[in-house]
Amino acid sequence: MSKHERKPDLADLAATLLTLHVPGTPVILPTVWDAWSAQLAVDAGFSALTVGSHPVADSIGKEDGEVMSFDDLTTRVAQITGAVDVPISVDVESGYGETPERLIEGLLAVGAVGLNVEDTVHSDGKRIRSAEEHAALVGGLRKAADAAGVHVVINARTDLFLRQDGDESDRFERAVSRLKLAAEAGADSLYPVGRHDDDTYRRLAEELPLPINAIALPDQDDPASFGPLGVGRISFGPYLQFALAERAKEILGRWQ
């Protein structure tokens, strides 16, 4: 099947993914890493998924932080989209040093219709991009997606909270400022990654112009607790894989 023949299907999947992002009624995107985990989540009733870089890296024996290549990632994504028919978003870390055009082309070629892009540049001493630089990357991704004819859903992430970057006194304001720039550049959702208290989530939801992504502990958090805070999207990062690993250790431990 040619890319031209696939485009309408991908465009429909992307449109579906975008409409699921509703502040106050968040879409839950279980974070998966292979065809097995993706099928598990779809069989459980989830209508869209995200592919996490951390669990994918772990599953192929590499470390998170762009130790694997973009080709490593898309090889796995192709296996996932070959197994399930729901919209798939992919964590592309900080872009693997690829151009926006290459990232969009590579994701669409394997059937993904969304992406998560962060502002930590792993290949450059793990520096954090300036707000303007990150917005320019988001803008480049949007332009490339528009040229491809698919509204790839862009989840723009900042690591300011996770990295505890700079002075705590103005960290919230700096994070909001850079996420607003990403929104203006063409993002569809915003990801102030980190574990936040309820007041912080409420403030983020009030001050940011797009749905926000919260990270959840799937075996511990209350699924109903995020909606009232204004969250529009929930993902699990590496924590679903971690939770399954703990259970597997228990089972295997019985046989030692």
Q: What string of DSSP letters covers 59-70? A: HTT--TTTTS-H
Using alpha carbons, select from 102, 88, 92, 77 the residue that is nearest to residue 29.
88
Residues in CB range of 53: below 8 A, 6 or more apart? 64, 66, 68, 73, 91, 92, 93
pLDDT at 59: 97
pLDDT at 6: 42
Helix residue ranges, H only, 20-99: 35-43, 53-59, 70-83
Task: Tell me the C-alpha distance between 76 and 243, whole Å.
Answer: 21
CATH no., domain 3-253: 3.20.20.60
pLDDT at 8: 46
Q: Report whether 195 contacts 162 (CB < 8 A).
A: no
Whole-Å CA distances, 120 to 160, 178, 214: 9, 13, 18
Task: Let me know if 181 is exposed, middle or buried by CB neighbors in 10 A (0-12, 13-18, 19+).
Answer: buried
What is the pLDDT tens value at each position of the chain, 256 positions in all?
444 444 449 999 999 999 999 999 999 999 999 999 999 999 999 999 999 999 999 999 999 999 999 999 999 999 999 999 999 999 999 999 999 999 999 999 999 999 999 999 999 999 999 999 999 999 999 999 999 999 999 999 999 999 999 999 999 999 999 999 999 999 999 999 999 999 999 999 999 999 999 999 999 999 999 999 999 999 999 999 999 999 999 999 999 9
Phi-psi domain of 164 (left: phi exceeds 0; alpha: psi -120 through 50; beta: other): left
Q: Which two tokens stand for residue 191?
A: 């990801």
The letter for the amino acid at 28 is: I
Q: Where are the domains of the chain?
A: 3-253
Order of strands, sheet of 27-29, starting from the edge strand that comes earlier in the sequence: 27-29, 233-235, 213-215
Q: Report whether 190 contacts 230 (CB < 8 A).
A: no
Whole-Å CA distances, 183 to 2, 14, 142, 156, 242: 32, 18, 11, 8, 31
pLDDT at 11: 97
Using alpha carbons, select from 26, 41, 89 the residue that is nearest to residue 215.
26
| Residue 117: its H or E element | strand 114-117
**pTM, full prediction:** 0.95
